[in-house]
Amino acid sequence: MWSSNTNSILGGILVAIWLVWAANFIGDLMIPKMAPATTQKAPAAKKPASAQPSKEAAVTTTAPASETLKVLLASASADDGKKVAKLCAACHSFNKNGKKKIRPNLFGIIGKARGFSSDFTYSTAIKEMGGKWGFEELDAFLAKPKAFMPGTKMAFPGVKKAGDRAALILYMRSQAEQPAPLPQ
Ligand code: HEC
């Protein structure tokens, strides 16, 4: 009883599907003759247009970090950065002749050699890395100090948000005799 009922329901559905398909098929056959060509082509013409914005979005997300940093630096504010710098205040000062805290004073840090301070005992990691602090290096270091410089003595997890880092770097830049030129 149940199964024959199910069968007839299924059969009904199949017939309905076939009818819809047949109607569509016949309709498709008739439309080209009846409808003007423009209504047929419209949906096809829209496709490439809607595909383009997603391509552009993909390009911006894969842009090199320096491009992103440049853009962020251009729109960041040093005042906001001063607030972010409170995260560092337990260890560093940024102003000229700033209090010598546990760690080096960072006045004029951009452009300085890594491990510049003569009265601080740095890790071997920073001494071995050498080089100078540029905008991009600071950005990478401050995002995750231990990832950029494995073995660093800087016990700080990092500033997660790229926008906060850009503001912080802009503030650090302002704390110098002559602020370093922004990356072009
Ligand atoms: C818990 C203390 C501590 C905090 C908090 C801290 N730092 Fe450091 N920082 C250090 C130490 C220690 C070093 C030396 C690293 C080494 O020797 O490997 C250092 C090194 C640095 C250097 C490299 C200095 C040089 O002489 O080359 C920079 C730049 C720096 N910190 C920026 C920051 C900024 C910006 C923040 C806040 C977002 C911050 N630090 C938070 C302890 C800290």
- pLDDT by 10s per residue, the chain, length 184: 556 666 676 666 666 656 566 566 555 655 555 545 554 454 454 444 444 555 444 444 445 668 899 999 999 999 999 999 999 999 999 999 888 777 899 999 999 999 999 889 999 999 999 999 999 999 999 999 999 999 999 999 999 999 999 999 999 999 999 999 998 8
Find the Cα–Cα–Cα–Cα dihedral 15, 16, 19, 23, rounded to 10°. -170
- Check if 106 has its Cβ closer than 6 Å to any atom of ligand 1: yes
> What's the residue count for the chain?
184
Report the atom number in ligand 1 closest to the C-alpha of 109.
29
User: Which pLDDT does position 23 carry in this prediction?
Assistant: 62
Nearest to 180 by CA among 136, 141, 148: 136
Please give the pLDDT value at position 103. Answer: 84
Pocket lining: 109 vs ligand 1, CB cutoff 6 Å: yes
The residue assigned the tokens 């995002």 is 143
CA angle 65, 71, 76 (to 5 degrees): 115
User: Largest Cα–Cα distance of the chain, in whole Å?
Assistant: 95
> Which pLDDT belongs to residue 34?
53
Q: Which residue bears the tokens 């098929």?
A: 25
Smallest CA-to-CA distance from 177 within 115, 128, 123, 111 is with 111
Task: State the Cα–Cα distance between residues 123 and 115, nearest whole angstrom.
Answer: 9
Q: Which atom of ligand 1 is nearest to the CA of 126?
A: 18
Q: What is the atom index within ligand 1 of the atom nearest the CA of 152?
A: 18
Residue 27 confidence (pLDDT) = 56
143 lines ligand 1 (CB under 6 A): no
Structure confidence at residue 184 (pLDDT): 82
Which pLDDT belongs to residue 6?
65
Range 99-134 burial, b when 16+ CB lie within 10 A, else e: eeeebbbbbbbbebebbbeeeeebeebbeebeeebe
pLDDT at 51: 47
Residue nearest (by alpha carbon) to ligand 1 atom 34: 88
* Integer CA distances (angstroms), 160 to 118, 120, 143, 157, in order: 30, 27, 6, 9
Hey, how many other C-beta atoms are within 10 angstroms of the C-beta on 181? 10
pLDDT of residue 15: 62
